[in-house]
A and B are shown apart, each in its own frame.
Chain A
Amino acid sequence: MSVEEALGTPGAGPGSHGDHGREEAHASPAFYWTIGAILTVITAVEVAIFYVPSAQPVLVPSLLLLSAAKFALVVLFFMHLKFDSKVFTGLFSAGMVLAMFLVVALVILYKVLPQHPSGV
């Protein structure tokens, strides 16, 4: 089932907003169940990788990649960002980019760069 097949006509449902229908699109329950199943499989793969000794050299990049995939699936389909207005994507992306910059900057400052002898 393609994404296009799973989705109904935007703004056509009983809860649609008529002229404001461009904000939203409705997916079928079957499509949501498929996304739920994919999320479950990815979580199972993550835990499997954690316990497989041969996967240890690629553990961190693999887990980050799988985690990013789960994150994207929830944001795009459960939060409807893929089919909603780009304004919402912009608002969320602004927060996410700033958040990632904050985490990376603090980790570099306190863990990567040489520390003062006092430990501060």
Chain B
Amino acid sequence: MAQAVALAHDDHHYTSTGLSTWKVGFWTFIGSECLFFATLIATYMVYKGRSVTGPYPHEILDIPLTTISTFVLLMSSLAMVLALDGVRRGSRKLALLWLGAVILLGSTFVGFQVYEFSHFVHQGLTLQSNVFGSSFYVLTGFHGAHVTVGIIWMLTLWILAFRNRLPATDALKVEVAGLYWHFVDIVWIVIFTLVYLIQ
């Protein structure tokens, strides 16, 4: 009976393959996002070491600080899968807890980035300073914008859960949001290595 009710409320659409149209569409979007970030990363790599004036990457990049923000973003991904697990179990309490954790950790990451950018500007690195500044701010700035969009998305899910409108049958909504959040995380894994660690 419970399963029949759950299926009756399952208004998600499925393709002829049995796959959710939401997920097929969203994985296609993620594939296109790979190319978007690839262009930004390629631009950074091409202009790497071509700045004729400072500040240069080795003078300005703060590895300990960025390591903490990387850890924060990785933990937000963990919180995201735990939030999905909570929603699938039909636990409003777990959903609120872990979606709240994702919002908090994501906001902390953006806070680190705002601090980093303002610190770099004070040290003389702006978008116009040199090619390192231009490519660095565009790459990490677009990533930060993606994280911000993700935080807003998580906030809407948290409000839905708070108003008791995120039942287990709507777990797909959280799963798709989670795919976006994890993608933002893997992009940062690449940026952290190529920009910060391999200087």
Q: Which residues of A contact B (CB under 8 A)?
A: 13-20, 22-24, 26-27, 29, 32-33, 35-36, 39-40, 43, 46-47, 50, 59-60, 63-64, 66-67, 70-71, 74-75, 78-80, 84-85, 87-88, 91-92, 94-96, 98-100, 102-103, 106-107, 110-111
Query: Binding site of B, secondary structure by majority: helix, strand, loop or mixed?
Result: helix
Tell me whether B45 and A107 are in contact (CB under 8 A).
yes
C-alpha spacing A71/B187, complex, angstroms: 9
Q: What class of interface size applies to chain B in its complex with A?
A: 35 or more
Tell me whether A71 and B186 are in contact (CB under 8 A).
yes
Q: Which residues of B contact A (CB under 8 A)?
A: 3, 6-7, 10, 12, 14, 17-20, 23-24, 27-28, 30-35, 37-39, 41-43, 45-46, 63-64, 67, 70-71, 74-75, 77-78, 80-82, 85, 87-90, 168-169, 171-172, 175, 178-179, 182-183, 185-186, 189-190, 192-193, 197-198
- Collect the chain B residues with CB atoms within 8 Å of residue A59's CB: 198
Closest 5 CB pairs of A and B: A95-B31, A15-B171, A99-B38, A15-B88, A36-B78
